[in-house]
């Protein structure tokens, strides 16, 4: 069975991008340092213990999930600053607009923003999640040869991911498929990675949560970097505690959406179409 490629945290950006270009995803070993993973595990576990089971098939009746992760832990900050992830987002989300602008000497380059944060804890007995594209939430089109990607996502392993415990099922290369082709179950392969590693994958890749046939839960933290002119999947402005957002570093505030994408998202301030970050100050 083919496997997803695993690269180290120091692998050059070009290599990370080339593997994602070919397979739609790549595993990065030691995505963040050990102290960050330990801190995340402690903070997230505490909240998972108070979280109920999923209420529908997609969420999973033996799966616990919660969002608004910035409300629950500061250890998510180094995760959203990981340089290989930013390089991939710049290439796949902003790259097409940048290249168009270079060619024509005009055009707007959109930002990318954190569009979703979710802790997903798959328990023993949970079955397979249906294979899907996460950019399906916008009914995002995939014409042949499309270049403009909507999402560059991460699944960080808070516990190890195995074939037995529900490691995310991925259909390599499916980011290049058009909207007609459907994935077959046997085309999906499991994400096998150690605690602290992360799967980076494009929003156009067919994937789904795996079946947990082990005797312990599989915990992942997933975060999407999304094209700035799309509506964020998770409403950050309403779900995050503004006192906590005020305490975050400015680059993270902007990444959460307290900034403009080209001209979109302004607040009027004395006749100026200003960045919403002004209202946080
Ligand atoms: O938990 C996983 O491995 C993937 C879950 C997923 O793809 C989703 O809920 O959209
Ligand atoms: Fe998904």
- Mutational test site, ligand 1, from 155, 158, 192, 197, max ligand atoms within 8 Å of CB: 155
Residue nearest to atom 5 of ligand 1 (CA): 209
Q: How confident is the model at residue 130 (pLDDT cuts 50, 70, 90)?
A: very high
**Pairwise CA distance, residues 159 & 166, whole Å:** 11
Ligand nearest to the Cα of 188, by number: 1
Residue nearest to atom 2 of ligand 1 (CA): 209
Enumerate domains of the chain plus CATH numbers: 6-280 (2.60.120.620)
71 Cα: distance to centroid of ligand 2 (angstroms): 22
Which pLDDT value is given to residue 1? Answer: 64
Which pLDDT value is given to residue 57? Answer: 93
Q: What is the pLDDT averaged over residues 210-220?
A: 98
Ligand nearest to the Cα of 165, by number: 1
Which pLDDT value is given to residue 105? Answer: 83
Q: What is the pLDDT averaged over residues 253-278?
A: 95
Ligand 1 atom closest to Cα of 220? 1
Q: What is the pLDDT averaged over residues 168-176?
A: 98
**Pairwise CA distance, residues 208 & 221, whole Å:** 14
- Kindly report, residue by residue over 59-115, the tens digit of the pLDDT: 999 999 999 999 999 999 999 999 999 999 999 999 988 888 888 888 889 999 999
Q: Which residue has the higher pLDDT, 153 or 145?
A: 153
Which pLDDT value is given to residue 223? Answer: 99
Which pLDDT value is given to residue 88? Answer: 98
66 Cα: distance to centroid of ligand 2 (angstroms): 14
Ligand 1 atom closest to Cα of 207? 7
Pocket around ligand 1: residues whose beta carbon is below 6 Å from it? 120, 122, 129, 134, 155, 168, 207-209, 220
Ligand 1 atom closest to Cα of 166? 3
Cβ contacts of residue 116 below 8 Å, gap of 6+? 67, 222, 223, 224, 226, 232, 233, 234
The answer to whether residues 151 and 207 touch, using CB atoms and an 8 Å cutoff, is no
**Pairwise CA distance, residues 31 & 193, whole Å:** 11
Tokens of 270: 């004395």
Taking 90 as the threshold, does the pLDDT of residue 123 lie above it? yes
**Pairwise CA distance, residues 97 & 120, whole Å:** 33
Q: What secondary structure letter does DSSP report for 264?
A: B
128 Cα: distance to centroid of ligand 1 (angstroms): 10
Ligand nearest to the Cα of 120, by number: 1
230 Cα: distance to centroid of ligand 1 (angstroms): 20
Q: What is the pLDDT averaged over residues 203-209?
A: 98
Mean pLDDT computed over every residue of the chain: 96
Taking 80 as the threshold, does the pLDDT of residue 238 lie above it? yes
5 Cα: distance to centroid of ligand 1 (angstroms): 19
Q: What is the pLDDT averaged over residues 157-166?
A: 98
- Other beta carbons within 10 angstroms of residue 178's beta carbon come to 11
- Mutational test site, ligand 1, from 62, 157, 197, 209, max ligand atoms within 8 Å of CB: 209
Residue nearest to atom 1 of ligand 1 (CA): 209
- Kindly report, residue by residue over 256-265, the tens digit of the pLDDT: 999 999 889 9
């Amino acid at each position: 069975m083919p496997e997803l490629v695993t690269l180290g945290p120091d692998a050059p950006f070009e290599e990370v991008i080339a593997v994602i270009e070919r397979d739609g995803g790549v595993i990065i070993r030691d995505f963040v340092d050990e102290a960050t993973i330990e801190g995340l595990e402690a903070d997230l576990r505490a909240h998972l213990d108070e979280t109920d089971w999923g209420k529908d098939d997609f969420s999973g009746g033996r799966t616990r999930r919660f969002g608004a992760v910035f409300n629950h832990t500061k250890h998510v900050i180094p995760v959203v600053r990981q340089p290989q992830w930013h390089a991939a987002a710049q290439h796949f989300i902003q790259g097409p607009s940048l290249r168009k602008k270079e060619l024509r000497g005009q055009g707007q380059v959109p930002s990318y923003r954190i569009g979703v944060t979710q802790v997903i804890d798959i328990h023993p007995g949970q079955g397979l999640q249906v294979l899907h594209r996460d950019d399906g939430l916008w009914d995002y089109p995939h014409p042949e040869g499309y270049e403009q990607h909507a999402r560059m996502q991460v699944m960080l392993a808070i516990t190890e991911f195995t074939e037995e415990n529900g490691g995310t099922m991925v259909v390599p290369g499916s980011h290049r498929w058009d909207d007609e082709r459907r994935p077959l179950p046997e085309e999906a392969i499991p994400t096998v990675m150690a605690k602290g590693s992360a799967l980076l994958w494009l929003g156009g890749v067919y994937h789904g949560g795996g079946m947990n046939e082990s005797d312990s839960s599989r915990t992942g933290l997933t975060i999407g970097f999304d094209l700035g002119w799309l509506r964020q999947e998770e409403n950050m402005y309403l779900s995050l505690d503004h006192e906590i957002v005020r305490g975050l570093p400015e680059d993270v505030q902007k990444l959460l959406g307290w900034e403009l994408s080209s001209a979109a998202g302004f607040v009027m301030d004395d006749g100026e179409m200003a960045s919403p970050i002004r209202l946080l100050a």
